[in-house]
Amino acid sequence: MTRLVGIYGAGGCGRGIMPLARMMPELSAARLVWIDDGATETAINGHDVLSFDVFCAAAAAHKSAAIALADPALRERVTQRVSDAGIAIQAISAADVIIMDDVEIGEGALISPRVTFTSNIRVGRCFHANLHSIVEHDARIGDFVTFAPGVRCNGHVTIGDRAYIGAGALIRQGLSIGADAVVGMGAVVTKDVPAGATVVGNPARPLVRG
Ligand SMILES: CC(C)(COP(=O)(O)OP(=O)(O)OC[C@H]1O[C@@H](n2cnc3c(N)ncnc32)[C@H](O)[C@@H]1OP(=O)(O)O)[C@@H](O)C(=O)NCCC(=O)NCCS
């Protein structure tokens, strides 16, 4: 029986993660599949698509799943569902990630190419750091946080659980981003962001919908 590894979610996020899984030496003998209840295809990019129920029923010596869903709250719910089914949460990392001194990253992280962590950093569970993101010294990042591509998170920044930081956002050193906050793409964050708030622009301000 083989080792079976599911990439949960065959959307844009997952399709950026599957190639990284394929390149990980420790997964070279594993069968890599998609887990996706919504996909109509039977195979995507050379990998079979299984429903979650079929994945759970499949025979394998060891099963794990990487939760490749960019939406933080959805990723948290699906992680719970997968854990409740007794399936291990799989971390996936690009080979070229730079990690300096004293960096602790919780289980199930998805770390894309060209991501840099400098030193003395703590990151919670199931972090998703997309392409070219930077996490600077002494950052404290909660659980299920998503960094879209090109986020620049400076030193001593604190980010609460399930926060979503949009593409190219820039966060000034020492600030706090609250739990469930959303930082829009391209935002330049110069002040603390309250929990649950959405901020956009330079300097970032609360989003006012027209
Ligand atoms: C901030 C964000 C979450 C808002 O999404 P939304 O709630 O659907 O908001 P809307 O698209 O309806 O936009 C509402 C208003 O905010 C403006 N706006 C949206 N995002 C903005 C941004 N990042 N910066 C500046 N203004 C923005 C819109 O132009 C619109 O202005 P208007 O009311 O004057 O027309 C979203 O636009 C965003 O930036 N998401 C991150 C995208 C990203 O990083 N993707 C990476 C994928 S890998």
pLDDT(207) > 80: yes
Which residue has tokens 């990439």? 7
List the structure tokens of 111.
């770390």
**What pLDDT score was predicted for residue 18?**
98
* Other CB atoms within 10 Å distance of the CB of residue 96: 11
184 CA distance to ligand 1 middle (Å) = 6
pLDDT(169) > 70: yes
Residue in 115, 189, 207 to alter for ligand 1 test, most ligand atoms within 8 A of Cβ: 207
Indicate the pTM of the whole model.
Answer: 0.98
Mean residue pLDDT across the chain: 97
**13-21 mean pLDDT:** 98
Residue in 130, 131, 183, 185 to alter for ligand 1 test, most ligand atoms within 8 A of Cβ: 185
- Which helix (H) or strand (E) covers residue 153, if one does? strand 152-153
**135-145 mean pLDDT:** 98
**What pLDDT score was predicted for residue 35?**
98
Ligand 1, pocket residues at CB < 6 Å: 130, 148-149, 166-167, 182, 184-186, 198, 200-201, 207, 209-210
Residue in 164, 200, 209 to alter for ligand 1 test, most ligand atoms within 8 A of Cβ: 200
More confidently predicted of 209 and 164: 164
- Express each pLDDT in 23-79 by its tens digit: 999 999 999 999 999 999 999 999 999 999 999 999 999 999 999 999 999 999 999
More confidently predicted of 73 and 208: 73
**171-183 mean pLDDT:** 98
**What pLDDT score was predicted for residue 208?**
86
Active centre residues (catalytic): 137
- Express each pLDDT in 63-119 by its tens digit: 999 999 999 999 999 999 999 999 999 999 999 999 999 999 999 999 999 999 999
**What pLDDT score was predicted for residue 210?**
76
Query: What is the bridge-based pairing of β-strands 134-135 and 152-153?
Result: parallel
pLDDT(209) > 90: no
Give the span between the Cα atoms of 207 and 199, in whole angstroms: 5
Q: Which residue's CA is the closest to the ligand 1 atom numbered 43?
A: 166
**What pLDDT score was predicted for residue 1?**
64
Which residue has tokens 């992280």? 109
Which ligand 1 atom is the nearest neighbour of the CA of 169? 44
Which ligand 1 atom is the nearest neighbour of the CA of 149? 48
Cα 73 off chain centre by: 11
What is the per-residue DSSP string for 40-52?
Answer: --SEETTEEEE-H
pLDDT(177) > 80: yes
% the chain with pLDDT above 70: 100
